[in-house]
């Protein structure tokens, strides 16, 4: 099961990710804030989470915190996609359990796609179905 959860509040970014992932045969679910994301997790367990940081209602850091607290969710790989480029934010996200961090404006979507592939094909932390 190649289920990916996207947590992103900007519609066209979310669309771009969804379209590309679906073209590569992934099963994609979309939520637009932290609260929705946790709700979704209670019902479906994704193999990978693509997580934005700045979102209304509850942000990406909240999601990371919740993931860390739950032993069931701790093992799900998380790739942070954010435009917050400061070293402090990157450090903070990684310390809170993010496995990777992309500054969106600095990487072509191709690289994100390749990284997703890596996680599903078993390099490092495995995206468990």
- Compute the least distance from the CB of residue 45 to another protein, in Å: 26
Show contacts with another protein in window 46-105 (CB under 8 A): 54, 83-87, 103-105
Paired tokens of 6: 């996207």
Closer residue to another protein in complex, CB, 28/76: 28
82 burial class (0-12, 13-18, 19+ CB within 10 angstroms)? buried
Binding mask 4-33 for another protein (x = CB under 8 A): ------x-xx-xxx-xx--x----------
Which residues does 1 contact at the CB level (< 8 Å), separation at least 6? Answer: 27, 47, 129
Which residues does 81 contact at the CB level (< 8 Å), separation at least 6? Answer: 8, 13, 17, 50, 51, 52, 102, 104, 112
For residues 50 and 122, what is the distance between their CA atoms, to the nearest angstrom? Answer: 17
| 35 interacts with another protein by CB under 8 A | no
- Compute the least distance from the CB of residue 31 to another protein, in Å: 18
**φ/ψ (deg, to 5) at 110:** -55, -45
- Compute the least distance from the CB of residue 51 to another protein, in Å: 15
For residues 34 and 73, what is the distance between their CA atoms, to the nearest angstrom? Answer: 15
Closer residue to another protein in complex, CB, 43/95: 95
Closer residue to another protein in complex, CB, 39/114: 114
Count the site residues for another protein by CB under 8 A: 22
The site for another protein (CB under 8 A) is made up of 10, 12-13, 15-17, 19-20, 23, 54, 83-87, 103-106, 108-110
């Amino acid at each position: 099961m190649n289920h990916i959860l996207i947590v992103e509040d900007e519609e066209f970014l979310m669309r771009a990710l969804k379209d590309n992932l679906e073209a590569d045969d992934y099963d994609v679910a979309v939520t637009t804030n932290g609260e929705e994301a946790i709700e979704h997790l209670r019902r479906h367990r994704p193999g990978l989470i693509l997580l934005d940081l700045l979102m209304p209602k509850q942000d990406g850091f909240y999601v990371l915190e919740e993931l860390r607290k739950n032993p069931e969710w701790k093992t799900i790989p998380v790739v942070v996609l954010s435009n917050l480029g400061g070293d402090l934010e990157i450090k903070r996200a990684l310390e809170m359990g993010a496995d990777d961090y992309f500054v969106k404006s600095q990487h072509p979507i191709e690289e994100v796609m390749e990284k997703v592939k890596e996680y599903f094909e078993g390099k490092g932390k495995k995206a468990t179905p």
